[in-house]
Amino acid sequence: MSAQPLLTEPAVTPALAAEHGLSDAEYALVLEIMGRTPSFTELGIFSVMWSEHCSYKSSKVWLRQLPTTGPHVICGPGENAGVIDIGDGLAAVFKMESHNHPSFIEPYQGAATGVGGILRDVFTMGARPIANLNALRFGDPRHPKTRHLISGVVAGIGGYGNCIGVPTVGGETNFHRSYDGNNLVNAMTVGIAPADRIFYSAAAGVGNPVVYVGSKTGRDGIHGATMASTEFSDDSEEKRPTVQVGDPFTEKLLVEACLELMATDAIIGIQDMGAAGLTSSAVEMADKGGLGIALDLDQVPQRETGMSAYEIMLSESQERMLMILKPGREDEARRIFEKWELDFAVIGRVTDTGRLVLTMHGQTKADLPVSPLVERAPLYQRPWEPTPAASPLEAGLGAPAGRSFDDLLLTLMACPDLASKRWIWEQYDSQVGADTMAGSGGDAALVRVHGTDKALAMTTDCTPRYCAADPVEGGRQAVAEAWRNLTAVGATPLAVTDNMNFGNPQKPRIMGQFVGCIQGMAEACRALDFPVVSGNVSLYNETSGEAILPTPTIGGVGILARTGDAVGIGFKAADLTLLLVGATAGHLGQSLFLREILGREDGPPPPVDLAAERRHGDFVRALIQDRLVSACHDVSDGGLVVAITEMALAAGIGADLPGLARCDAAFLFGEDQARYVIAVPAGHVAEIQRRAAAAAVPLTTLGTTGGTTLTVGEYDAISLKRIEAAHEDWLPHYMASLAP
């Protein structure tokens, strides 16, 4: 975009429409809707509203398969964030959203504004944000750009979240070469609101004032939504001007000012200005209310002089909100925003015309019908092909000859996906709010609901290598693992937000991955009573034709009825009995053992038995809530021995595991699902065995906690200090070194 004022607007032609990302058929539809050639500003509005990012044109028909209702659901997908009832008159409001493309182009600002954007989605609904999580995927650690991306993304997430004062309590970080050209930043925010005071975005009341609050509008981020709707090529550096710049201090003021105004009854509707800025917020508010909006763009607070209507409407400047107020309440609202030193301007009125009319300098810059802009947005049934089934692994795979058990375990515990991510999460304030019970490093984070004895549990999960090998199974597994992680801290899982990250949907192979993952997710969400209440889709995560692994990140939220019920993964004490819940067949396909030890990424992912997941999870949760369990950890990446090792490291207490004598590598490191390791006082073992038998849950005695070493079956004891050094050192050493 030109930094100079556009004195004359370019003539709108089919070629200009194509430059705006509209296909020939889409532009023909624009002409039909308008009945004339659109103005330059109108073309810009159509192009962003119909971008993949804003319209979900490739994904919408499939997203409808996901279950979105349930007894706890107050508001499902379609608003700024999902809302669920958590009792005591309170609601949890949450959503996850990607900021992948900007975070690759400009990692600090891209990640920071990702956090800022998702926070706005949550407080727009009337909730005070209480926690952030981040699911990150980076390329191969040996890729020259990876270190720079990690450094910038982590600093950006911390820079925003730490300043605004919302604790960053969890997330995940994985590495795979498929993300070399497209790292993923999926940011999730959870907030709390009074259940009877949720704010929605629909406009109402002809003549009511349309109010702009927050930061001024500048030329940053113009066409960000369009940028995020195409593949990258080698020129992605040139797209830096499309990345927005974050100001967490202003957003902190905006949170406080909005919540202060929300405590009154002056607001009719409110919508944050995220992707496609003022355009999408005004259009969505008008469309949801079945009304029109007239805006006087001269009234929009502007950071720069000489901005055109096109630039004002397409700017993605951060920390801005649009509100419809009750008539006569402008002064009251203005006083609150002035106290917080934020811009406040009445920029228009609600109308009954059903049209978005924009005037500037006394001229009409745009006049278009709202409903067709939204309802007639293109919707594609893209051709798709199912992912071919992976060939099963040959029988008898095991540890390579000559590699000791020590070596295998240390290699796994220090591999990029399993190594400690402390270097990352210590850069985030995880405790502000003084309600954090458990942050990163466990199965799920726990944050007390302020002023109550309840806590919310939250987690993000996805195993992209499973999704690539079998999208349906991978979709099931992502949901099941999130559900398991909430269960493992003692919480009752309630609902899900999803963040679908995929390649180019115009390729049938990629579309097939999307379709398969949705199918698996839908099955798992139904089987586990775990509805999807919000979500986001990020497509075109490809560079020069290379797509990322399919990555449907699941953000799960659950409730812990009593904070005292919580358990962590650390052993807590010596002389506890270690039990394995669930059956082990020794599934090595797509396992980390296969990848890190045998150098192979093949085979089918572990099958997910949703009935077993449900049965085993309900069994474990009841044990925890009945206070029979001292520590619990779900078994996932790396398998059984890795899970036990993580429990030992978390507490600095070792274990002796005679129950694993004569077990092969597949048993020790296979990634069979629906499993948990629990550490229980010896006096509770008989009761737990009785319950397991009654519920038909497989239960195996593994051994006992104690000491400072880990002894697996007949192998020599390994000192925890040695494992800890390997596990903790990988990431800081990697970040500090210059070599790959």
Partner 1 sequence: MKAAVIVFPGSNCDRDVAVALERTTGKPPVLIWHRESELPPLDLIVLPGGFAYGDYLRCGAMAAQSPIMRAVVARVQTGVRVLGICNGFQVLTETRLLPGALMPNAALKFICRTVGLRVENADSAFTRRFQPGQVIHLPIAHGEGNYVADAETLARLDGEGQVAFRYCDSAGVTSDAANPNGSADHIAGVFNARRTVLGLMPHPERAFEPLHGNTDGRMIFDSLLEALS
Active site residues: 53, 99
Q: Convert residues 219-248 into a mask of x (bound to partner 1 by CB under 8 A) and - (unbound).
A: ----------------------------xx
Amino acid at 345: A
By CB under 8 A, residue 426 contacts partner 1: yes
Residue 344 or 715 with smaller CB distance to partner 1: 344
Residue 163 or 266 with smaller CB distance to partner 1: 163
Site size toward partner 1, by CB under 8 A: 29
What residues numbered 147-186 form the site for partner 1, per CB under 8 A?
A: 155, 158-159, 162-165
Neighbours of 237 (CB within 10 A): 9
Q: What is the CA radius of gyration of the chain?
A: 26
What residues numbered 341-370 form the site for partner 1, per CB under 8 A?
A: 341
Amino acid at 693: A
User: In whole angstroms, how close is the CB of 563 to partner 1 at the nearest point?
Assistant: 6
Residues 6+ apart with CB under 8 A from 339: 257
DSSP letter assigned to residue 242: G
By CB under 8 A, residue 429 contacts partner 1: yes
Give the C-alpha distances (Å, rounded to integers) separating 589 from 206, 599, 665, 730.
61, 12, 13, 25
By CB under 8 A, residue 427 contacts partner 1: yes
Three-class HEC string of 563-617: HHHCCECCCCCCCEEEEEECCCCCCCCCCHHHHHHCCCCCCCCCCCCHHHHHHHH
User: Residue 546 forms beta bridges with which residues?
Assistant: 543
User: In whole angstroms, how close is the CB of 22 to partner 1 at the nearest point?
Assistant: 40
User: In whole angstroms, how close is the CB of 314 to partner 1 at the nearest point?
Assistant: 27
**Rounded CA separation 64/58 (Å):** 12
Residue 448 in tokens: 């007390």
Question: Which of 103, 186, 215, 250 contacts partner 1 by CB under 8 A?
Answer: 250
By CB under 8 A, residue 249 contacts partner 1: yes
Three-class HEC string of 180-199: CCCCEEEEEEEEEEECCCCC
User: In whole angstroms, how close is the CB of 129 to partner 1 at the nearest point?
Assistant: 11
What residues numbered 537-566 form the site for partner 1, per CB under 8 A?
A: 563
Residue 164 or 397 with smaller CB distance to partner 1: 164
Helix (H, G, I), strand (E, B) or coil at 360: strand
By CB under 8 A, residue 738 contacts partner 1: no
Residues 6+ apart with CB under 8 A from 151: 107, 735
Residue 37 or 563 with smaller CB distance to partner 1: 563
By CB under 8 A, residue 437 contacts partner 1: yes
Would you say the C-alpha torsion 646, 651, 655, 657 has a positive or negative sign?
negative
Sequence length of the chain is: 740
What dihedral do alpha carbons 346, 347, 351, 356 form, nearest 10°? -160
User: In whole angstroms, how close is the CB of 450 to partner 1 at the nearest point?
Assistant: 8
By CB under 8 A, residue 431 contacts partner 1: yes
CA-nearest of 718, 1, 617, 162 to 404 is 718
**Rounded CA separation 366/359 (Å):** 7
Q: Convert residues 484-523 into a mask of x (bound to partner 1 by CB under 8 A) and - (unbound).
A: ----------------------------------------
Question: Which of 1, 432, 573, 685 contacts partner 1 by CB under 8 A?
Answer: 432
Residue 429 or 461 with smaller CB distance to partner 1: 429
Question: Which of 76, 152, 433, 606 contacts partner 1 by CB under 8 A?
Answer: 433
CB distance 52 to 229 below 8 Å: yes
By CB under 8 A, residue 320 contacts partner 1: no
Residue 60 or 562 with smaller CB distance to partner 1: 562
The window from 15-23, 395-403, 430-438, 508-516 that contacts partner 1 (CB under 8 A) reads 430-438
User: In whole angstroms, how close is the CB of 105 to partner 1 at the nearest point?
Assistant: 23
User: In whole angstroms, how close is the CB of 161 to partner 1 at the nearest point?
Assistant: 10
CB distance 412 to 636 below 8 Å: no
By CB under 8 A, residue 617 contacts partner 1: no
Please give the full DSSP string across 363-418, using - where no structure is assigned: EEEEEEEHHHHHHTS--------PPPPPPPPPTT--PPTT--HHHHHHHHHTSTTT
Q: Convert residues 656-695 into a mask of x (bound to partner 1 by CB under 8 A) and - (unbound).
A: ----------------------------------------
Give the C-alpha distances (Å, rounded to integers) separating 506 from 47, 382, 652.
18, 7, 51
Residue 308 in tokens: 């055109």
CA-nearest of 732, 739, 539, 728 to 150 is 732
The window from 138-146, 434-442, 549-557, 580-588 that contacts partner 1 (CB under 8 A) reads 434-442
Residue 205 in tokens: 């009341």
Residue 21 or 558 with smaller CB distance to partner 1: 558
By CB under 8 A, residue 428 contacts partner 1: yes
Question: Which of 7, 389, 401, 434 contacts partner 1 by CB under 8 A?
Answer: 434
Residue 159 or 582 with smaller CB distance to partner 1: 159
By CB under 8 A, residue 389 contacts partner 1: no
Residue 341 or 394 with smaller CB distance to partner 1: 341
User: In whole angstroms, how close is the CB of 250 to partner 1 at the nearest point?
Assistant: 8
Interface residues with partner 1 (CB under 8 A) are: 155, 158-159, 162-165, 247-250, 252-253, 340-341, 425-435, 437, 448, 563
